[in-house]
Amino acid sequence: MTNWNIKEILKFLKEAGNIALDIQKRDEWDFKEDHSLVTEADKTIEDMARKRFISEGAYFIGEETILTDSEEDIQNAIKGPTWILDPVDGTAPFANGLPTWGVSLGFMEEGKLTEGAIAFPGLDLTVYTNEGTTYIIEGDQEPRPLTVSTSDFNEGRMLCIPQDVTKWGVFTGDTPVQVTGSCVYSMLQLLLGRYSSYFSRAKVWDIGAGWPILRTAGVKAYFYNGEETDLLLEPKDFVLDVDSPKRWRTQYHVIYANNEQARAYMNEHIKLKDEV
């Protein structure tokens, strides 16, 4: 499939979500070489997606199969059009029986993440973009459009930080913070106005759907140095060196925020030992 057909996308996410929920009940997982968790759901959903979305003129980047793709296929995928999948974003919450994970499918053209859809099966909720608007579906309700509030920063509103800050950095602010273990769940809470900002250094499949969903709804992204970014899949924004162990990660940590005050507050109060 070479275009964003939302009817087909939602059908795929529904099927993938049902598969994941069934597998989650088994309480089984394994470890990758980097000691991150992987489950049968990751593998099963990615296999299904590759069969459904790869076609002549359409490429694929998936978390579980990227290491087995040829470099020629990868270079074609960087140019696009390309489907970008994280079959279970938030594998640790998923493996431990929590609902704070999602199935994430993004679409990229010429290096720009243009569309995204994420199903949260444990929450019975889906968010997606279509024709320049971000939508949410809750349960059996009809889709409704979403935009983020850009009102003044409120220090009572929660911020979201990643595990690497809790392990190797410091947060010095007074604002309440949360660590979720899932990019897509963190982005969902930012979209819904429950967080005022989210700080992360993720790989392209982690944000492949979430970033276009947030951007379309009015959220902006900034590198840790304060530079605004559109997170294009090119060397200035992502590590793409074939020999780098950090390949596919953003070049720097990114602050996703719904206004400048929220960005500045996060920037001021996050202290990193290194760009880990």
| pLDDT bracket for residue 40 (50, 70, 90) | confident
- Please tell me what DSSP assigns to residue 122: G
Q: What pLDDT is recorded for position 154?
A: 80
- Could you check whether 6-146 and 158-272 share the same CATH topology? no
> 196: closest CA among 248, 103, 241, 258?
258
Q: What is the pLDDT of residues 210-244, one digit of tens each?
A: 999 999 999 999 999 899 999 999 999 999 999 99
- Percent with pLDDT over 70 in the chain: 95
| Euclidean distance between CA atoms 44 and 20, whole angstroms | 9
Class of domain 158-272 as given by CATH: alpha beta
Q: 6-146 adopts what CATH topology? A: Fructose-1,6-Bisphosphatase; Chain A, domain 1 (3.30.540)
Quote the mean pLDDT of the chain.
Answer: 92
Is the pLDDT confidence value at 30 over 70?
no
Mean predicted confidence (pLDDT) in 116-121: 98
Is the pLDDT confidence value at 35 over 70?
no
Q: Where are the domains of the chain?
A: 6-146, 158-272
Is the pLDDT confidence value at 37 over 60?
no
Mean predicted confidence (pLDDT) in 196-220: 97
Q: What pLDDT is recorded for position 34?
A: 52
Is the pLDDT confidence value at 180 over 50?
yes
| pLDDT bracket for residue 13 (50, 70, 90) | very high
- Tracing tokens 């359409």 back to the chain, one arrives at 58
Radius of gyration of the chain (CA): 18
Q: What pLDDT is recorded for position 164?
A: 86
Between 31 and 49, whose confidence is greater?
A: 49
Q: What pLDDT is recorded for position 276?
A: 43
The per-residue b/e assignment along 106-143, b for 16 or more CB within 10 angstroms, e otherwise, is: bbbeebebbbbbbbbbbeebbbbbbeeebbbbeeeeeb
Partners of 58 in beta bridges: 55
